[in-house]
Amino acid sequence: MHNIETLNQFLKDELSATETYEQALEKLRDDTGLAESEALKPIYESHKDAVSSLQSLISRLGGTPCESSGAWGTWAKIVQGSANLLGKDAAFTALQVGEKSGSENYEKALEDTELSSDVQSLIKTKLLPAQQAHILTLNRLLAL
C-alpha cells in the first residue's frame, strides 16, 4: 500500500508537471517563437513518459493510478500562469523551482527503506536522472 501511495503522489506531481509545461509551451510559442519552446518540448515529453511509467507500475502493483494532479496541479498552474505573464525568465525560473522540488522528492524517497525494489529502481534509473537533466536544461535556458 505504501508503495502505491508514494507512486500516486509522484504521479500527481508528474501530471502537474505535464500540465505546467503545456501552459509554458503555449505561452512561449505565442511570445517568442519556436527556439525556447523547442528546448522545453523534450522535458514535456519526458514528464509524459514518467506519467506512463508510474501508471504502469501502479497498475502492476495492484493499485489504481490517480487521474488528476489535484490541488498541487492547480497551484502549479496558477504560479506558472503568473510567471508567464512576467516573461520568459520568470517562466523558466518557475519551471526550475518545480523541477528542483521533484528532484528533492525523488531523493527523499530513495531513503525510504519501505519502498520496494521496483519503486527504488524506477526512481534511480529513470525519474531522478530525468529531473536532474531537466534542471540542467533550464539552467542553460536561464543563462541565455
Quote the CA–CA distance of 10 and 16 in Å, as a whole number: 10
Q: What confidence tens digit (pLDDT) does each residue in 85-120 have?
A: 667 777 888 889 889 999 999 999 999 999 999 999
The span from the CA of 107 to the CA of 127, in Å, is 10
Go through the chain and tell me how many residues it has: 144
Domain covering 2-143: architecture: Up-down Bundle (1.20)
Orientation angle between helical segments 2-32 and 88-110, nearest 10 degrees: 160
Mean pLDDT of all residues in 20-47: 81
What pLDDT, on a 0 to 100 scale, did the predictor assign at position 83?
66
Contact 67, 60 (CB under 8 A): no
Least confident of 31-35, 64-68, 80-84: 31-35
Looking at residue 117, its pLDDT comes to 94
pTM, to two decimals? 0.88
* 36 burial via Cβ count (<10 Å: 0-12, 13-18, 19+): buried
Q: What is the pLDDT of residues 73-82, one digit of tens each?
A: 666 677 777 7
Query: What's the chain's average pLDDT?
Result: 87
What is 30-76 written as a DSSP string? HHH-HHHHHHHHHHHHHHHHHHHHHHHHHHHTT-------HHHHHHH
